[in-house]
Amino acid sequence: MDVKRLILIVKVLKKSIEMPKARVKFKLFYTVLSLLYVPTTFGTTGNPENVSIWGPGLEAHHIIMPARYFFVDVPDYKVQSDNFEVVIQGETALKKPCRIWSNILDRKNGSFIVRYKVYETCSNIKISVKLGNKHVAKSPYVIDQIVYSDDCFCPKKDIPEILKTWHCEAIPPQITKNLKEFQTIDWDIERPKVIKQFNQPTSVSLCHYVIKNNEIYRKCYGKYVGFNMFSDAILLSVARKAKLPDLEFFVNLGDWPLSTKNLKEKYPILSWCGSTDSYDIIMPTYELTESALENMGRVMLDMLSVQGNVENIWDKRESKLFWRGRDSNRHRLELINLSRKYPELINASLTNFFFYRDEEIVYGPKSEHISFFKFFDYKYQLAIDGTVAPYRTPFLLVGGSLVFKPHSKYFEYFYEQLEPHIHYVPVKTDLSDLKEKIIWAKDHDQEAKIIAQNGQNFANNHLLPEHVFCYYFHVLNELGKVIKSEVRVLEDMELVSQKKNVCNCLEDNIKQEL
């Protein structure tokens, strides 16, 4: 039992809670700035001059995303959301107001996430952020360059440039680790081998992609290839943003990694989920990818919306572990047993029976669907595997509850950077120590809260839409470096086309006119 170690680490950590990086930078900058600034006080309500505003949404001209967003932190200010106002305006080429939709997510601790969607090419975007009718920080922010909607197909920069303008972090360790196994890829040799090995239509769903001159081509293998909508969507999206190198690769549409260590050779295949016994090159899960692409769109649950829709005050959350999900893993049944044995610690039930249908009598009845946001009425969450790693982990982390994570051979693209006892509490695969770890958390509420906050900060620094895009830019960029064969579109591939491009890639035209 390493609860003692846990306490020790938490004690050390207490002094160094992970701070959101961008915010620290801004604060330093702000300190310098505030020397020149005559502060206006807000009476007893706090110091609006300490407001920090940062985020990719302030650089909408070169950070193009489906939903732009930025953060506003108002320390010590008893904020009433009706006192807080954001107006975002811009104009079209014809000098008409352009269509922009924005919304504010209130994190209820004086911190807001502002999101906005740009529906057409805009210029002179002006972002005003006001508290009690006064501009705060450096508001209004004016973007005097062309801002494209995310639908525009106007790639101008190559990936290395994009990585810089997006402020992407260095190559994530998972990519380095994966590509160590594939220092050079000659597809003329590998391609037939991959197809021969994995063309098993009933059990494998795999797509072969070629990117040539920023156009996407593919051929899929398998009976169920509907999930190619996710890989298509992200590839089309990055191709709209960056000039991609010519590339060839395979994407595994299934959950289980394919290039397992029991096979005679290693195959460079991109997968949503990794495992310690396979060589697949990991990318963000389709769930997280989709939530980045459909932010302020079709998807309700995303890494930002969670933060504005949950009970955000730790002390108001109930000190229990809450879990809902389907029966996709035997250990989940153990969880149901534990929850019955210790109802004062665990509230868990299954929402669907599929894998263990015969045992519904024992582990049922299945419970009603409950909104994911309601999970955070509780302090403790469990990231327990289903068929593979639980794709909800990023959402659990960002919700600000304490995440307990059973040991597992499966992992997502960011686990390499996630640290036990710092960002989450590890538990045994069979959950045999879950009870005592929950009791530890109940008895050490401050320590538990710190780990929960660290987990949330980690998510805000590594798992938001900007980071998901950065990860894809990096993966494609690094793949480009190791592919040694000539990239050509094969005869039986089909073009995955962009939506009709209604955008005039203005800047280029203007430059040409000059």
Ligand X SMILES: *[C@@H]1O[C@H](CO)[C@@H](O)[C@H](O)[C@H]1NC(C)=O
- Interface residues with ligand X (CB under 6 A) are 20, 73, 75, 107, 109-111, 307, 312, 330, 333-334, 337, 343, 347, 370, 400, 456, 460
Opening angle at CA 332, ends 254 and 283, nearest 5 = 30
Which DSSP symbol is given to 416? G
Q: How far is the CB of 473 from ligand X (least distance, A)?
A: 25
Find where tokens 């769903």 sit. 205
Contact present, 71 and 85 (Cβ < 8 Å): no
Q: How far is the CB of 281 from ligand X (least distance, A)?
A: 31
Residue 214 vs 337, nearer CB to ligand X: 337
Contact present, 242 and 264 (Cβ < 8 Å): no
Residues comprising the chain, all counted: 514
CB atoms within 10 A of CB 173: 11
Residue 4 vs 15, nearer CB to ligand X: 15
* Gap between the Cα atoms of 415 and 23, Å rounded: 23
Residue 23 vs 421, nearer CB to ligand X: 23
Residue 224 vs 373, nearer CB to ligand X: 373
Q: How far is the CB of 55 from ligand X (least distance, A)?
A: 12
Query: What single-letter amino acid sits at 281?
Result: I
Q: How far is the CB of 165 from ligand X (least distance, A)?
A: 24
Select from 18, 15, 3 the least CA-distant residue to 419: 18
Find where tokens 């999900």 sit. 325
Select from 510, 277, 511 the least CA-distant residue to 411: 277
Q: How far is the CB of 476 from ligand X (least distance, A)?
A: 30
Q: How far is the CB of 32 from ligand X (least distance, A)?
A: 21
Residue 394 vs 400, nearer CB to ligand X: 400
> Which strand (E) or helix (H) includes residue 496?
strand 494-496
Q: How far is the CB of 71 from ligand X (least distance, A)?
A: 8
Contact present, 274 and 411 (Cβ < 8 Å): yes
Q: How far is the CB of 115 from ligand X (least distance, A)?
A: 15
Select from 178, 220, 214 the least CA-distant residue to 199: 220
Contact present, 103 and 296 (Cβ < 8 Å): yes
Q: In the chain, count H helices and then E strands.
A: 15, 23
350-353: long-range contacts, CB 8 A cutoff, minimum separation 24? 350/324, 350/325, 350/326, 351/324, 351/325, 351/326, 352/326, 352/327, 353/326, 353/327
Residue 65 vs 464, nearer CB to ligand X: 464
Residue 5 vs 330, nearer CB to ligand X: 330
Region for residue 383 given its phi and psi (left: phi exceeds 0; alpha: psi -120 to 50; beta: otherwise): beta
Query: What single-letter amino acid sits at 220?
Result: C
Q: How far is the CB of 366 from ligand X (least distance, A)?
A: 13
Residue 431 vs 468, nearer CB to ligand X: 431
Residue 377 vs 445, nearer CB to ligand X: 377
Residue 73 vs 280, nearer CB to ligand X: 73
Contact present, 98 and 119 (Cβ < 8 Å): yes
* Gap between the Cα atoms of 136 and 246, Å rounded: 45
Contact present, 418 and 441 (Cβ < 8 Å): no
Q: How far is the CB of 188 from ligand X (least distance, A)?
A: 49
Q: Three-state DSSP class for 93?
A: coil
| Residue 14 tokens, joined | 């207490």
Residue 296 vs 398, nearer CB to ligand X: 398
Q: How far is the CB of 316 from ligand X (least distance, A)?
A: 13
